[in-house]
Structure 1
Amino acid sequence: MMIIMGAFGHVGSEVVKALLREEQEVIVVTHDPGHAWRWEGTGAQVALADVNDPDALRAVFRQGRRAFLLNPPAAVDGDTDKTERRTVARLLEALKDSGLGEGGGRVDQRRPSRRAPGRPECALGA
C-alpha cells in the first residue's frame, strides 16, 4: 500500500493516477473530508488526518509500506518558513514507529529543497 500526501494538488494527483494505472493500492491523505469525493470510484482509499496531528498521521502511515509525502504549503500571510519547518517536524515525528521505510527504505532529512535552499526536506524511498 502506498500512502500519498498532496494527492489533491498537481504533482500528488499525478502520482496517484500513475499508481492506480499500475493497479497499485493507494491511500490518499487529506485533512478536509470535503475533498474525499475527488477520489471516489478510482480505487484509491481516502484517509483523514491533519499534518498537525502526528498520531493520526502515524496511524495512516502504519497501513502502508511506502509513501510519497509533500509538505503542505504554508499560508503566505504568515511566517512560511516557521510553519513549513513545523509541519516537516510533525511529518518526521509521524514517521517514527510507523513502519514506513522498513525493509530498505530510508528517511532523508539532509537533502536540501531545490525550491528553497536550506529548508529541510523529507524523502522516503528504497
Structure 2
Amino acid sequence: MYVITGATGNIGSKIADILLTAGEQVRVISRKREHLQRFVNRGAEAAIGDLTDRAFLVEAFRGATAVFSMIPPGYNAGDFRAYQNEIGENLATAITAAGVKYVVNLSSQGAELAEGTGPILGLRDQEARLNRLAGVNVLHLRPTYFMENLQLNIPLINAKGIAGSAIRGDVKFAMIATRDIAAYAAERLVKRDFAGKGVQDLLGERDLSLAEATAVIGRSIGLANLQYVQFSYGEAERWLREMGIGSDASRLFIEMNRALNEGRFAVNRPRTSENTTTTSIEAFAKTTFAEHFAAAAARKAA
C-alpha cells in the first residue's frame, strides 16, 4: 500500500495515476471525498481528513509500504511558516506512530540554505525533522522551479498581453515539469532502493531563462511576440495578492524570487544522468501550458 499526501496536487495526483496504472495498491489523502473520486473509481482507497489532524494521519499512514510526504502550500495561512511547521510535525509524528519504514519526501532546491529563501525554509526544516526519525528510510527530493509556475502568467497574458514576475528574465536556471518529479517519486516508492537519509536533486531537462521560456510558450499559443517583463518586488507581491495568495505567503514568495535573482539556488548546478529529466520546455508548452491556456479562454468565453 502506497500512501500519497497532496493527492489532488500537481505531483501527488500524477504519482497516484502512475501507481494505479501499474496495478499498485494506493491510498490517497484529501479533505474532500469528491476530489478523490477519480482515483477511487480506479481502485484507490480514500482517506478523508485534514493534515492538521495528527490522529487522522496516523491511521492514514498505518499499513503503508511507503509514503509520499509533502507539505501542501497553505497559501492563505496567516503565518505561513507556522503552518508549515504544524503540518511537518504532524507528518513526522504520524510516520513514526504508524510504523512507516520508507518515505519519499518532497523538498526543494535551496533547502540546503539556512536563510533568505522564503517558503523553502519550511522544507529545510522538514528535511531536518524527518532526518531525526530513527529506523525510517527517507529520500528527500529537491526539484527545481516547476514549469507549472509559468501558468500563473495566463491571467496576465489574457489581461495585458505579457508574461512577467519579479524574477529576472535573463538569469538561466533549472526548470522541471511536475510529471517528471512524479515519475521519479513513483519509481523510488515502488523500488524502495534507498536506505538511511538521502537527498536527490531533480533539475529538469536544461537550464533556461524566463525570457527564453516565455518565447517558447508564446509560439505554442500563437503569440509569437509574447514578451517577458520583470516587475519590481512590490508590483509582483501585489499581483500575487490579487491572484488570491495571502499576504504572508506572497511576502515569502518574493523573498524566494530575490534569492533566485541572486543566483543562490537552482543556478549552475552540476548535471548528471540521475538529476536531469526528460520533459523539455517545448514539450511542456505544446501540451500542458497550451491546454491550460485554452481552458482559460473557454471559461472566459463562457
Tell me the TM-score normalised to structure 1 length: 0.81
CA distance in 1, matches of 2:104, 2:40: 31
Q: Judging changes above 3 Å, is the alpha-carbon distance between structure 1 residues 14 and 55 closer, same or farther for their aligned structure 2 residues?
A: same
Q: Which runs of 5+ in 2 are unaligned?
A: 111-119, 131-137, 140-193, 195-302
Q: Judging changes above 3 Å, is the alpha-carbon distance between structure 1 residues 62 and 12 closer, same or farther for their aligned structure 2 residues?
A: same
Check the 8 A contact 2:67/2:103 in 1, yes or no. no
Establish whether residue 38 from structure 1 lines up as the match of residue 38 from structure 2. yes
What secondary structure sits across from 1:85 in the alignment?
helix
Q: Residue type matched to 1:120 in 2?
A: D
Q: CA deviation at 1:57?
A: 0.8
CA distance in 1, matches of 2:58, 2:77: 29
Q: CA deviation at 1:94?
A: 1.2
The answer to which structure has the higher helix fraction is: 2
What secondary structure sits across from 2:52 in the alignment?
coil
Establish whether residue 120 from structure 1 lines up as the match of residue 142 from structure 2. no
Q: Residue type matched to 2:126 in 1?
A: E
CA distance in 2, matches of 1:42, 1:120: 35
Q: Judging changes above 3 Å, is the alpha-carbon distance between structure 1 residues 83 and 42 closer, same or farther for their aligned structure 2 residues?
A: same
Q: Judging changes above 3 Å, is the alpha-carbon distance between structure 1 residues 107 and 21 closer, same or farther for their aligned structure 2 residues?
A: closer
CA RMSD of the aligned region, Å? 2.5
What secondary structure sits across from 2:56 in the alignment?
helix
Check the 8 A contact 2:33/2:46 in 1, yes or no. no
CA distance in 2, matches of 1:107, 1:9: 16
Of the structure 1 ranges 73-82 and 86-95, higher mean CA displacement relative to structure 2 is found in 73-82
Check the 8 A contact 1:6/1:12 in 2, yes or no. yes
How many aligned positions are there?
121
What secondary structure sits across from 1:74 in the alignment?
coil
CA distance in 1, matches of 2:121, 2:47: 32
Check the 8 A contact 1:25/1:44 in 2, yes or no. yes
Deviation sequence 1:5-28 (CA, Å, 0-9, x none): 111011111101111121110000
Larger Rg: 2
Q: Compare relative contact order (CA 8 Å, sep 6+) and give the higher one, 1 or 2.
A: 1
Q: CA deviation at 1:33?
A: 2.8
Tell me the TM-score normalised to structure 2 length: 0.36
